[in-house]
Structure 1
Amino acid sequence: MLSNATVQPETKSNGVSLKQTAEEMSKLSVKEQKVGRRALFDSSLISTEVSAQLPAQYVLRPLCEDDFEKGVFECLSQLSVVGEVSAARFAETFRTLLAQGASYMNVIEDTERSRIVACGTLVLEQKLLRNCGKIGHIEDIVVSSTERGKRLGLHLIHQLKHLGHALGCYKVILNCKQSNVAFYEKCGLEVRDVQMVEYFTE
């Protein structure tokens, strides 16, 4: 963060003191200053070990406020129904997620095409059990059909496990189809119990 003490208030640009500018900059989160745009969480939580294993044109990073234009919904639509979401609706939802601070959506971007090609989210749940511990729910894992076979899904799961550990979760859990069990076992997870569900809307 910038230190206000090192800026002289007399020096002005367009009628605004540099001290005032520094104060405004100091209000920006670290994540904004690192990526140049708002990110859903601090990029320091991205595993450097996992990132290093990605092919050269791929970048693992937090969801950012401009990812609507980079096809995040096109990627998610290969997992489930996303509906007709406008750029304004995405921006509103992004601000809500940012304010809540419990959803950590990770994306993999193909920087050669500026397109999101994989997504996965860790959602924190605060518990009273286990000394008021936290659980990390792994959700919405999807890799674009054009990018499969490149181990992007495996790297994404390893990142979400890293994230859960870094955020102090005592475990991470997920629900999946029976056909995906073998994949998640390769990622180091094991089968426990069963999933139950009731949908209120389709």
Structure 2
Amino acid sequence: MTIDTYQFDDLKLLSPEVQKLLPDQYQLRSLGSNDFARGHLDVLSVLTQTGTHTYHDWLDQFQYMQSHADTYFSIVIEDQALDRVVAVGTLFVERKFVHDNGRVGHIEDIAVANDQQGQRLGLRVIQALQYIGRQQGCYKIILDCATKNIPFYEKCGFQQKESQMVMYTSSK
């Protein structure tokens, strides 16, 4: 493995309160360039299909997001004893013309490894992303979720509002 670089380096964006709530061997941090080998996609596959990434495919996407570090904030919780990613999530910051050129945070891709569920790691990821959203000046933070997950997100402080619409295209 090469030396890790991180998707964003601003440690002020990581909540010290969330870190304190994690088990001792767990670390909250930005997505790292070596997280492909640490199982980043394995954790995401709990949520949805991830495709057939090679390391280079994954690294291209990582580097794109890293070069847009004011827009993408991907975080992981790593079990340092196992050198393994166990929970993930991303906050995407959209810049708007409304609300005086305001910012909206979109929470995406929250996933916890199957063998780590029940330890409140999903809650910790959400709390950490909410913290980043506040640090980035977002006037609201939104997410889409499956109906079965609504009670979980309500416990995280979200409320149901309006409806989501989707149209899938044949493009990648």
SS in 2 for 1:105: strand
Name the counterpart of 1:37. Answer: 4
CA distance in 1, matches of 2:147, 2:59: 35
Name the counterpart of 1:145. Answer: 114
Fraction of identical pairs, as percent:
40
CA distance in 2, matches of 1:112, 1:37: 17
CA distance in 2, matches of 1:44, 1:90: 26
CA distance in 2, matches of 1:52, 1:160: 15
2:64 is aligned with 1:103:
no
Name the counterpart of 2:36. Answer: 68
2:15 is aligned with 1:58:
no
Runs of 5+ in structure 1 lacking a partner?
A: 1-35
Name the counterpart of 2:62. Answer: 94
Name the counterpart of 1:195. Answer: 164
TM-score (norm 1): 0.80
Shift of 1:91: 1.4
Letter in 2 for 1:109: E
Letter in 1 for 2:51: G
- Structure having greater relative contact order (Cα 8 Å, sep ≥ 6): 2
CA distance in 1, matches of 2:86, 2:15: 18
CA distance in 1, matches of 2:84, 2:4: 17
Name the counterpart of 1:122. Answer: 91
Name the counterpart of 2:155. Answer: 186
Number of corresponding residues? 167
Name the counterpart of 1:85. Answer: 53
CA distance in 2, matches of 1:43, 1:68: 21
Shift of 1:100: 2.1
SS in 1 for 2:162: coil
TM-score (norm 2): 0.94
SS in 2 for 1:120: strand
Shift of 1:37: 2.9
Deviates more, 1:93-102 or 1:123-132: 93-102
SS in 2 for 1:112: coil
Larger radius of gyration between Structure 1 and Structure 2: 1
CA distance in 1, matches of 2:22, 2:33: 23
CA distance in 2, matches of 1:37, 1:118: 18
CA distance in 1, matches of 2:163, 2:111: 22
Letter in 2 for 1:108: I
Letter in 1 for 2:25: Q
Shift of 1:44: 2.5
Letter in 1 for 2:6: A
What's the Cα RMSD here? 1.1
Q: Deviations over 1:17-74 (max 9, x none)?
A: xxxxxxxxxxxxxxxxxxx631111232110011000011111100011111101011
SS in 2 for 1:50: helix
